[in-house]
Structure 1
Amino acid sequence: MSAILGFIAVLTLIVGWWLSRQGLGVKPWLQVDHAGGVTQSGASPHAPAQVGLGVFLAVVASLFALLITGYVLRSEGTDWQTMPLPWIVWPNTLALLGTGLALEWALAAANRGAIGTARTGVLVASGGAVLFLAGQFVAWRMLAASGNFVNSGPADSFFYLMTAAHGLHVIGGMFALARTFERFRRDERPERIRLSIELATTYWLFMLFVWALLLAVLSGSAGEFLALCGQLLSQGGLS
């Protein structure tokens, strides 16, 4: 249980660090312009969207932390039988990784003002997201074909529940990508397009992190991962 609490603490630190980078600690009454005058506001004009995403990620992190805690506690039961993971989850991971990398590429292009390249990066990311969801559906079909249904056992039930919860959040991320495409279509200001890509990139990288953790838990190697989280926390406390 201490390892689970360590994981929750790591997620909290990640979200808190990201929020701290959004200019939330800026005191506008202390900001001055180049001429020496006081500015109207030192906070980012996009802070509400960034804060909203940070709060949402904190809620999502709490949800998956509860699911992982339930999985670990239930796995201690005498009727627990480990379920082998379908091989396709590993190509699915590559698809999700490709989505995150494509968005990083798109964000870098948007920072340079290369809107056309940014649009291509978002398009590639959307393709990776579709491949991931299709691969998850195939994984469920493979499990059903081998006799592992949602009610076959506690391990099977948790696999379907946890991957379905993650898949629903991936679908939500696809709506965010669709909104970014709408900004491209309406030829909105570059800074608004950049903000949309930045938020999508943060969200998808978070989803990649959660997916990696779920795989670690479902494959039985979560102990090493959570131990690493504990070491990082210990080092952070000593520094």
Structure 2
Amino acid sequence: MENVRQYKLEREPQETLAMDPKKFILWLFLVTIIMLFASQSSAYLVRRAEGNWLEFEMPQIFWYSTVVLIMSSVAMQWAYFSAKKDQFQQLKIAISITFVLGLIFLYMQFQGWKELVAMNVYFVGNPSGSFFYVFTGLHGFHIITGLIVLVFALFSAFKLNVHSKNLRRIQISATYWHFLDILWLYLFVFLLTFN
């Protein structure tokens, strides 16, 4: 009897904690981005405390670009809900709106940089300006990668490969896009508070 119980214990498959490999890679990537911006935030605060810090008002266009990015997050969530309900036309429209709003955000960020230059705040010069350009530039780079992810999701939507039984691509896209929006809100508040 003991041998039978031992044999049963050895033969029964062990339950494993499984995660989709692509989602796991995404979460590792997000943690890496968090660490990057945490280290930059820390360096910002340390350098600011040393003095010789130029204080300047953030151009108004960064406020507007923040609203645009929030709207893009709403559109991305609409895309996700549409995929869950197999509403393919709405899915395509929502992803397209998210993409266009992402492009508008990038354009507005560039216009904000032009306004900073007009205010004599440059990338090279006082560290406060340098940090501002680095923060917004790094985030802009990640928005570009988010737009690339959206393009793949849009192609999949047009091929009808995104639907209620296959949500992985839209889940990855939505998670990354919402993360980028939250990251921008953090940076925006951080730069407003500590500039």
What is the TM-score when the length of structure 1 is the normalising length?
0.72
- Which of the residues 12, 15, 30 maps onto 1:57? 30
Q: Could you tell me how far 1:81 is from its partner in structure 2?
A: 2.0
Between the aligned partners of 2:132 and 2:156, the Cα distance in structure 1 is: 36
Q: Does 1:109 align with 2:78?
A: no
Between the aligned partners of 2:14 and 2:116, the Cα distance in structure 1 is: 59
Matches within 5 A, 1:51-200: 51-188=24-161, 190=163, 194-200=167-173
Residue pair 1:183, 1:193 contacting (<8 A) in 2 also: no
Between the aligned partners of 1:170 and 1:89, the Cα distance in structure 2 is: 15
Structure 1 residues 42, 79: CA separation in 2 closer, same or farther (over 3 Å shift)? closer
Which structure is higher in RCO with an 8 Å CA cutoff and minimum separation 6? 2
> Alpha-carbon deviations, 1:196-218, whole Å to 9, x = none?
11111111111111111111221
Pairs aligned (count): 183
Q: Could you tell me how far 1:194 is from its partner in structure 2?
A: 2.4
Residue pair 1:184, 1:193 contacting (<8 A) in 2 also: no
SS of residue in 1 equivalent to 2:49: coil
Structure 1 residues 147, 221: CA separation in 2 closer, same or farther (over 3 Å shift)? closer
> Alpha-carbon deviations, 1:89-147, whole Å to 9, x = none?
01100111111110101101111111211111101101110110000000001111121
Structure 1 residues 141, 71: CA separation in 2 closer, same or farther (over 3 Å shift)? same
Q: Could you tell me how far 1:149 is from its partner in structure 2?
A: 1.1
> Alpha-carbon deviations, 1:124-181, whole Å to 9, x = none?
1011101100000000011111211112311000000110000000000000001012
Root-mean-square deviation (CA), in Å? 2.0
Between the aligned partners of 1:116 and 1:221, the Cα distance in structure 2 is: 44
- The one-letter code of the counterpart of 1:187 is L
Q: Could you tell me how far 1:42 is from its partner in structure 2?
A: 8.0
Residue pair 1:106, 1:122 contacting (<8 A) in 2 also: yes
Q: Return the index of the structure with the highest Cα Rg.
A: 2
- The one-letter code of the counterpart of 2:175 is T
Between the aligned partners of 1:66 and 1:98, the Cα distance in structure 2 is: 28
Between the two proteins, what is the percent identity of the paired residues?
26
Residue pair 1:176, 1:200 contacting (<8 A) in 2 also: yes
What is the TM-score when the length of structure 2 is the normalising length?
0.87
- The one-letter code of the counterpart of 1:213 is Y
Q: Could you tell me how far 1:184 is from its partner in structure 2?
A: 2.3
Between the aligned partners of 1:204 and 1:133, the Cα distance in structure 2 is: 14
Unpaired runs of 5+ residues, structure 2, are 1-12
